[in-house]
Each structure stands twice: as structure tokens, then as C-alpha cells.
Structure 1
Amino acid sequence: MENKGVQFISPLLEYGYPVTVEEYENNTLFEKPLLLYLPGFDGTFLCPFLQFPELGTIFDVRCMTISTSDRSSFAQLTECVLQYIQQETMTMRRPIYLMGESFGGLLACNVALQIASDSHQLSDLLKGLALINPATSYDRSRLAREGPPVAQLPWWNYPAGLLQLLPLFTDEHSFQQLLLILTAQALPSVIDNPMREAYMGRVAFSLPLVIPTVTPSTLDWRLHAWLQTGCQYMTTRLHTLSDVHPNLRTLIVVGERDETLPSSEEAIRLQEILPNPCVRVIPDAGHASTCGSRADLAAYMRSHFPELNQGGGRTEMKEDAAQGEGAWYGMQERFDSARIGLIPLLYWSSPLYYRKYRP
């Protein structure tokens, strides 16, 4: 049965990124491996959106999104993902890579386990698992301690409770990096041409429509039915992934300053139990910025999955961005040395925007 609260989108197509739209219209997009991003408990694609253009040079990037009114269980969300993958590979079998961030990391692990079972004929297609601050450590997290009481606050005090949770997700450099972008001093290293800057601007303008309004009931459901239940379920099963899928390779990306989850500690634990692991620690990154401007996820994917590097792309962050300190880590001076950023009206102009695609 179709779940209208759960959708799967191509963010690059949705936002009119010209390269991807042309690949779609030329029927070459589907020749690429499928990268399926599973979101954190916000249910959106926002955390890694800066990474998608560079990831799109390797993959056909798809994202799961979940509405705030959805009340699917952990098991039901797993089944939604499995059904989508089966649908996408029915006519064209191609390599699959799962990327799960926070709650999505939990979900991705369960999906990988289910794919490896006898009931699914997808095991040979699943080539890699990328986990970003996975919530496999939720039971030991500050979010598990501080989140549930906020969901129980009276309506008049609930917004203040949410604000108190905000520091769990940010880091000391988040605001400074935003200022570097807004004042045209620098851009994230993965946003290195006008087309990508225009894409970044279009997504930024859509934020009021995309950022979810999390009600107390939604917060309570996601903390308990998703994170708590999912963590408990996977605790006794995660170690079996190496047994049922010994050839699967796992990339674990964690933020050094993640206050939401004990991600650095969890990376050490997961390295001992997941198949063929590789750990990347993002310096000074908080929970949300681990897959934002302080990272180069495509480079890490090429490095750990060599078959993705047939075109000779970079396997590390650009050198000058990696040598930056503080807020400058992961950032570069503007590609055009301009004193002001791209004019917003140009975000929707040709050749920076191509919207012939219709979902």
C-alpha cells in the first residue's frame, strides 16, 4: 500500500540543476549507480544538500523525505525503502549505495540487513553503505536524555524547549561559515562554479517551505517510534551484517564535535562490527555540519569505493580547503574572486537553471 507521507525525490532534478536534467532527458542518468540518501529524524534532505552536485558526478542521487504528519513505524519505513529500491531496479539493475545520516543511518543498516536476507534479490546490487553520524548510539546520547522531556512540554513552552535543543545540532563554526558565504568571502569547497552556487541559492530560498514544523506529537513519535525503537532493534542485529553480507563495504563519517550523538565513540565501536569499514572524522564538525560545508562526501566515497573513481575524480577534500582552520575548514575563496555573490535573480536563469523536467 502506498504511503503518501513518504516520498523519494531527485533533489538535483527538483531544483533544476542543468547537468542532471540533461542527463535525465538524454536517458543517461540511469546508467549511473543509484545513491539513496535516508534522512535524519527531520525527514528532509537539507543536511547534505550542498554535497549533491558533486555526488551527482558519480551517482543518480535520490533522497527519501518524510512528512511531519507521517506516523510510520521503523519497520514500515524500512519496507518503504525496500519497495522503492525494488521498483527502481525492476527494469534496470544497477549498483546501489545507501547513505544514511543520523536516524537514516539506523534505517540504512536495517535496509542492508533485509536486502541481504533470502527474501530479497538485491544483495548482489548493494555495493556500499555510508553512515553519517549514525543513530546506532541513540541510547547513549544527549538527545535521548534531553529530547523526550521537550516533547512533553505544554504548548506555550514548547518553542523554548526546541530552542534549547538547537545547540545539540550546531557547532561553533556554523554561523561563521554562513557569514563567510553571505559576505562573499568564501564558499564551501564543493560549490565551485556558478551553476552550483545558483543551485545552492535556489535551495536556500526554498527553506521556508522545506524546513518542517515539528509539533510535540511529531517529536515524540520520532524520538520513540523511530530512534528509540530502531536503536533497540538494531542493537541485537547489527553485528550480523558482517555475517550475511561479508563483502559489503562501509564508510563511517562522523563529526568530531557531535553533541547530539556520541558519534566519535560510536565510530570506534562500529569499526569492530561492520563489514570492511573505513572511518572519516570531520574536524570540529557538529551533528548537522558533518555532511555540510566541512565535508566532501563524494571524495570520501571515491576513496573507499574505488570503482566509483573511473573518471579520476578527487579522493580527498581540495588541499587549500582541508588546510583551512576554524570556520575556514572546508571553505575556499570564491571561484570568481567577486566581492558580492551571485545575484539571486540569476538563480533561475539559463544556463544556471534548467526546468524542463517534470516529476
Structure 2
Amino acid sequence: MAISTVRITDGICPVFSPVSRRAHNRDFSYWKSTRRLTSVAIGRLRDGGKVTATVNPYSNTDAVRPEERKSLTDFLAEVRDFDGGDGGPPRWFSPLECGARAPGSPLLLYIPGIDGTGLGLTRQHKRLGEIFDIWCLHFPVSDRTPAREIVKLIERIVRSEYYRYPKTPIYIVGDSIGACLALDVAASNPDIDIVLILANPVTRFNNLMLQPLLSLLELLPDEVPCLIEENFGFKQGYPFAAMFESMLNETVAQMSGGLLGDFFKTSANLPTLIKIFPKDTLLWKLQLLKSASASAKSRMYTVKAQTLILLRSINFGHDQWLLNKEDIEKLRCALPKCEVRKFENNGQFLFLEDGVDLATIIKIAYYYRRGKKLDYISDYIRPTPFELKEFEKSQRLLTDAISPVFLSTLDNGTIVRSLAGIPSEGPVLYVGNHMLLGIELRPAAIHFLKERNISLRGLAHPVMFTKKSGSKLPDLQMFDSVRIIGAVPVSNMNFYKLLRSKAHVVLYPGGVREALHRKGEEYKLFWPEHSEFVRIASKCGAKIIPFGAVGEDDLCQIVLDYNDQMKIPFLKDVIEEITQDTIKLRNGEEGEVGNQDLHMPGIIPKIPGRFYVCFGKPIETKGREKELNDKEKAHEVYLQVKSEVERSMTYLKMKRESDPYRNILPRLLYYLSHGFSSQIPTFDLRDN
């Protein structure tokens, strides 16, 4: 069983100091509370010890439960202690839940939205605290600091961190108003490596919609919230309280849409919300939003920071005064390094909602890095057991339909139904054939993690990692399922670095041409005449394991392939445009990604058959570096690998004929009799 290594760090509690005074390394602040000490600033060590675990954390993902996260009720309970009674200027705090981060973790600054409490990430603290050093900005209810002064306050801590760690990126997570302030900070500091995470950024303010809301708030007397709370208590059975809640919900929902509507839907917590949104504070926050959004809109063209925009669905109607598709598109085009991820079933307060895990989003978007440039090898974070469970759930329909069979070959040549023939220690290079659409990697990656705790790092087309502005390439969210399991853009450098890190690497020499083949080309290899993978593998002492995969012809049938589409004018134009966009991503790379046109073949499903994958006997290259440095000798091994892949495919196509469970009906009957978690038998392996 493979051994996984994790790091933990110890924490130390520093001397507290008010935000107006500067500590040597960072601004610290203290927090007063009439009930309990909710959050304090905690200094932590950058290095830590190692803890070695020998238990496979993925062996029983079915029993894994979601990591315990705070609820919206917990958030509102904590807000009651952040009512701003102590007054004072904005200040930073570090949540107690973020106490055991990994060494070398970058700084993450959270700039809150209209609530101003700084607790907007409260449901995310535990997960984010494992990979970031988190600091949250809090605005007391009575604070009236102008937008420009807030930007300067954020800049001070950004500059301080940059001075200490100039090679480490600084993350700024901004929510609505905070997103505008974060854009301003990035625009003012183009020399600092800043990564922006912007949730529902507001870069336009519709004054025609704003003015009625401001007028309504101006008409309400200052004493209304206190009188309602004291005299009616917001208890069930008081008609005036119910009437006020109904009026407030309706008014806010119609005029302010998602910005405040989501907050005030929880009417049972209205007293808490009124405490953080008294009339004068709400008026100030709306004016602050107007000022910050105007500044962000005017300066967004100067922002050079890498940016990830998290956007809820924008529907025509009451929320158009804040989020506008045209403005978001302008923002995306204005930022040179920007990716937009949309959440169709979520509201304005993304970080407080179920199904939104910011740590996972940052990981699968490949936005997590510890240095100036993303290192796909060292910056990769393996999925948690629950993330694997969620990934497995997303693939459940496919997995249940194909019931994959994984075979491996022992040292004595015996083929077994398990991964017992797979070496535990890397580097290992798996070389095989792509089936249609390349869907064989995902079930294989799940199986390797669950049985052997081995991460398969697939070398994938660069279109899965980068999208140029205005191109017709697919949305990057389509490839989340590939990126969460550690796929890496194919390149000689990434290939070499993976092997040097002793990883288990999957290579498909046929590339896209093999995955998007034409009619009648099932199981045909489209490998280049020559390849350097043998020589690179020998330099790293990697074992090469050829493998064959069959089963695509049992799943679907191609009815409209590349040749057919090129005869249709509008499809031909689209393919040619996509091909040109793809060329811009290749950066001179050839071989696996060179001269390969991207298109989506038209397919129709069949009655699902079964997938089979057979891993052959490892080919040792360790100690053969000088021998395999010779091109002819390396080519001989290359042809040997290709021959073994073809032999495995032939073996599987022959043996599957005797599999009594190749058809889906016998498999369904077996599931009903033995349970859906049982392993379905396959053909007899004794006669190989």
C-alpha cells in the first residue's frame, strides 16, 4: 500500500496590537466581545513537522461524510457578537478555525460584502485554513471610512506581506463591495503578485433603481428598528412584526434583488440583521458600493492580476441593477488573466450557501500556487476523501453503465483482477490507447486511488487548462472532472518534472486524434513515428507499463465524424476557428498536441456494454539510461510498448466474448441480488 505524507504546523499566539500600530511583519488587531472571544489574530510558523499515514484514506469513500461546516444560523449567531459596539476603525482578524495550515501557505485576505462583518467565509474557514494564512477585514457598524481609505488600509498589509515574501502570491477574496475594493488594490499595485477571487463583483450601479431605495430608507425614522424589536420582539403571533417583515422582504426583494434579498429571507434573524444594518449604516453601505463600483469600473483596465470571478446566474428582472451580463463580459475581457465560473443554482452570498466550497473551486481551477508561477506538480493538492466521493458520484452513471474491469500483470506474467501488479513506488509511466472522448481515465483514476492510494497524473490537452478571451473553445468548467484528479497540460517539461517527482504518469501518444477518431477507427493507434518518452523515462529511471483499453464500441456509435462535419459549411467554419484558437495554446509543443484538430463527434448511445483495461508487465528502464539514450535503442523499446498495447487490446477483445456479464441486463440482475456496491464477476482469468 502506498504511503501518503501530510504536513502539519504548530501555532503560536502573538502580542496583540491595535490596527493603527504596525507590527514588524503584519497588522494585528484585537477583538472585544461582550460574550466570548470569537476571533483573534494568530501568528503561525511557516515550517512544520511530518506525519506519516499508512492507511489509505480513499479505501472506503462510501462511508465518508461531508466535512462539518457551519450553517447560516451559525453565521448569524456569530454576527451578534460582531455588532460593532466597540466602534473604532476597520481591523483585521484571523479565525481560530484556521490554525493548522500547511507550510509555505500563501496569505489570503478576505474583504467582506455589504454586511461588513468579515465573517462571510465562516463556512469556508476550516478548509481554506489548511492551505492559506487567512485574514479577514471587519467594519464596525458605526465605521464610515471612505472607499479610498479602505483601499489604502488593504494596501498596507499587502505591501507588508510582499516585503516579507516577494516570491509568494497574495490572495484577495472580495465579495460584492469587497470585490470592487480588491480590484482597486490590484490596480494600484501592479508590481505585486496578487490573485483575485471575486464573488459577484459589482462594476455598475443603476441609479434609476438605487434612488427609490435610498428615498425609502431616508423616509424611515431612525427609531423604527429599535421600537419594533423592543415592543414586538419579532415573536410569532405579533401581527405588526409579521407585517413589517413581509413589507421589508417584499420591498428589499423588489428593489435590491439579490444584494439584500437573500439576507432578509431569514426573517427569524431579523433582529440581528437590523443591528448590523441600521438605517444610517445601510445608507452608507449603498453609497460605499456606489463609490467603490465606480472606481473599480474606471480602473479595471489597468489590473494585471490573475483573477477568478465567481458569478451567480444573472436573470432578467430585479437583480439587473447590480449584475449585468454585458458588464461582467467587459470585466472579463479587460482582465488579461481571468476565468469566470458560474453557479446556476446559487444566490448572492455564494460563500454561505450549500454546495459552494471555495477551497475545492480554487483547486480544480488550478488557481492555487505558492510561487510566482503555477507548478502543476508541486502545487497540486490531492482530493480529500469527500471530494473523491463527490467526483465519484458525478461519474456514477457512467461507472454503473460500463462496470469497468481492471486487470494487471504480475512479475511472473499472471494476469489478475486487481492492481496487484502495479508498483507502489514511482516513477511509473503508463502508456496506452485513448478510447472515444478519452473517458477511460476518470474511472481508472478513481480505482487507483481507492485500491492503491495512487494518484494518476494524466498528460492532457492544453485546451483543458487555458482559454483565450473571445475564443470558441469549451468552457473550462467542463474539464473539472479531469483537473481534480491531477491532469497536467502535456509538455516535455511537465512530463519530465512529473517523472522526477516519482509520480504515476499516464501518457497517450495518440492524443486528441485518437480520442476524437473517425468512423471505423475504434482501437486504431495514431502514434507518431518517433517519440521521446522512452528516453525521458530512462533518465528518470521510470518503469513503463503498457496498457490497453476496450469497450467504446459497446457504449456509443459515431454518426457524424470529422470528415462529415467538414462537409457542412457552418460546422467547418467553427472547427477551423477552434483549431486556430488551439494553435495559440500549443506554445510550440508538437507530438501529442501537434497537428490535431478539435471537434465534437456526433454520437448516439447504444445499450451499454462493458469497459476493460489491462495493464501489462512493467518494462524497467532504471540503469539503462546510456543504452536508451541511443535513438535506435529507444525506438526499439517504443515499438515494444506499442506492440504490448496492441496485444492487450487484442486480448481484451477476445476474452470479453466469454464474459457472462458483458451485457448490462445480467449486470443489473447481479446488482439487485448482491447489492450495488458489489464487484461483478468477469471472464475466467485462469486460462491466459
Answering whether residue 68 of structure 2 is matched by residue 2 of structure 1, we say no
Equivalenced residue count is: 271
Q: 2:220 aligns with which of 154, 169, 180?
A: 154
The answer (yes or no) to whether the contact 1:282–1:294 under 8 Å persists in 2 is no
Aligned residue for 1:36, secondary structure, equals strand
Q: 1:81 aligns with which of 150, 154, 159?
A: 154
Q: CA RMSD in A?
A: 3.9
Q: CA deviation at 1:114?
A: 1.1
Measured in 2, the distance between the counterparts of 1:78 and 1:109 equals 9
Q: CA deviation at 1:151?
A: 2.5
Report the CA distance shift for 1:217/1:10 in structure 2 as closer, same or farther (over 3 A).
Answer: same
Q: 2:170 aligns with which of 96, 101, 112?
A: 96
Q: CA deviation at 1:296?
A: 2.0
Structure 2 matches for 1:1-359, cutoff 5 A?
Answer: 2=20, 4-11=88-95, 13=96, 17=97, 20-22=98-100, 31-93=104-166, 94-116=168-190, 123-126=191-194, 128-139=195-206, 144-155=210-221, 160=244, 162-163=248-249, 164-165=251-252, 168-169=257-258, 212-224=275-287, 226-241=288-303, 245=304, 248-256=305-313, 260=319, 261-262=322-323, 264-289=325-350, 292-302=353-363, 303-307=365-369, 309-313=379-383, 318-319=390-391
Aligned residue for 1:250, secondary structure, equals strand
Deviations 1:206-249 (A, max 9, x none): x988985222211122211x1111222222221122xxx2xx21
The answer (yes or no) to whether the contact 2:262–2:348 under 8 Å persists in 1 is no
Q: CA deviation at 1:41?
A: 1.7
Aligned residue for 1:271, secondary structure, equals helix
Amino acid of the residue matched to residue 90 of structure 2?
Answer: V
Identity %: 25
The answer (yes or no) to whether the contact 1:10–1:63 under 8 Å persists in 2 is yes
The answer (yes or no) to whether the contact 1:108–1:129 under 8 Å persists in 2 is yes
Measured in 2, the distance between the counterparts of 1:317 and 1:210 equals 36
Measured in 2, the distance between the counterparts of 1:306 and 1:289 equals 19
Aligned residue for 1:237, secondary structure, equals helix
Report the CA distance shift for 1:139/1:271 in structure 2 as closer, same or farther (over 3 A).
Answer: same
Deviations 1:102-136 (A, max 9, x none): 000000000101112xxxxxx3432x111100121
Q: CA deviation at 1:21?
A: 2.8
Measured in 2, the distance between the counterparts of 1:227 and 1:174 equals 17
Report the CA distance shift for 1:107/1:57 in structure 2 as closer, same or farther (over 3 A).
Answer: same
The answer (yes or no) to whether the contact 1:255–1:287 under 8 Å persists in 2 is yes
Deviations 1:221-280 (A, max 9, x none): 2211x1111222222221122xxx2xx211000111575422555432321111211111
The answer (yes or no) to whether the contact 1:254–1:264 under 8 Å persists in 2 is no
TM-score w.r.t. length of structure 1: 0.64
The answer (yes or no) to whether the contact 1:39–1:101 under 8 Å persists in 2 is yes
Q: CA deviation at 1:84?
A: 2.3
Measured in 1, the distance between the counterparts of 2:310 and 2:146 equals 26
Q: Compare relative contact order (CA 8 Å, sep 6+) and give the higher one, 1 or 2.
A: 1
The answer (yes or no) to whether the contact 1:9–1:65 under 8 Å persists in 2 is yes
Amino acid of the residue matched to residue 148 of structure 1?
Answer: L
Report the CA distance shift for 1:90/1:172 in structure 2 as closer, same or farther (over 3 A).
Answer: closer
Amino acid of the residue matched to residue 2 of structure 1?
Answer: S
Aligned residue for 1:54, secondary structure, equals helix
Measured in 2, the distance between the counterparts of 1:95 and 1:52 equals 19
Aligned residue for 1:293, secondary structure, equals coil
Amino acid of the residue matched to residue 20 of structure 2?
Answer: E
Q: CA deviation at 1:85?
A: 2.3
Q: Which ranges of structure 1 fall in alignment gaps of 5 or more residues?
A: 117-122, 179-204, 324-359
Q: CA deviation at 1:54?
A: 1.5
- Which has the larger share of helix? 1
Aligned residue for 1:49, secondary structure, equals coil
Report the CA distance shift for 1:54/1:6 in structure 2 as closer, same or farther (over 3 A).
Answer: same
Amino acid of the residue matched to residue 289 of structure 2?
Answer: L
Q: CA deviation at 1:304?
A: 3.7
Q: CA deviation at 1:322?
A: 6.9
The answer (yes or no) to whether the contact 1:264–1:281 under 8 Å persists in 2 is no
Q: CA deviation at 1:306?
A: 5.0
The answer (yes or no) to whether the contact 1:171–1:285 under 8 Å persists in 2 is no
The answer (yes or no) to whether the contact 2:308–2:340 under 8 Å persists in 1 is yes
Measured in 2, the distance between the counterparts of 1:213 and 1:287 equals 18
Larger Rg: 2
TM-score w.r.t. length of structure 2: 0.35
Report the CA distance shift for 1:306/1:229 in structure 2 as closer, same or farther (over 3 A).
Answer: closer
Measured in 1, the distance between the counterparts of 2:390 and 2:264 equals 22
Deviations 1:6-57 (A, max 9, x none): 011112x2xxx3xx3355xxxx66x310111111021023333212222222
Amino acid of the residue matched to residue 81 of structure 1?
Answer: I
Q: Which ranges of structure 2 fall in alignment gaps of 5 or more residues?
A: 1-18, 22-87, 229-243, 371-378, 396-688
Aligned residue for 2:341, secondary structure, equals strand
Counterpart of 2:493 in structure 1 is none
Aligned residue for 2:219, secondary structure, equals coil
Counterpart of 1:329 in structure 2 is none
The answer (yes or no) to whether the contact 1:33–1:60 under 8 Å persists in 2 is yes
Q: CA deviation at 1:81?
A: 0.7
The answer (yes or no) to whether the contact 2:199–2:350 under 8 Å persists in 1 is no
Measured in 2, the distance between the counterparts of 1:131 and 1:8 equals 19
Deviations 1:295-354 (A, max 9, x none): 12112212241536432247999347879xxxxxxxxxxxxxxxxxxxxxxxxxxxxxxx
Report the CA distance shift for 1:228/1:124 in structure 2 as closer, same or farther (over 3 A).
Answer: closer
Report the CA distance shift for 1:291/1:145 in structure 2 as closer, same or farther (over 3 A).
Answer: farther
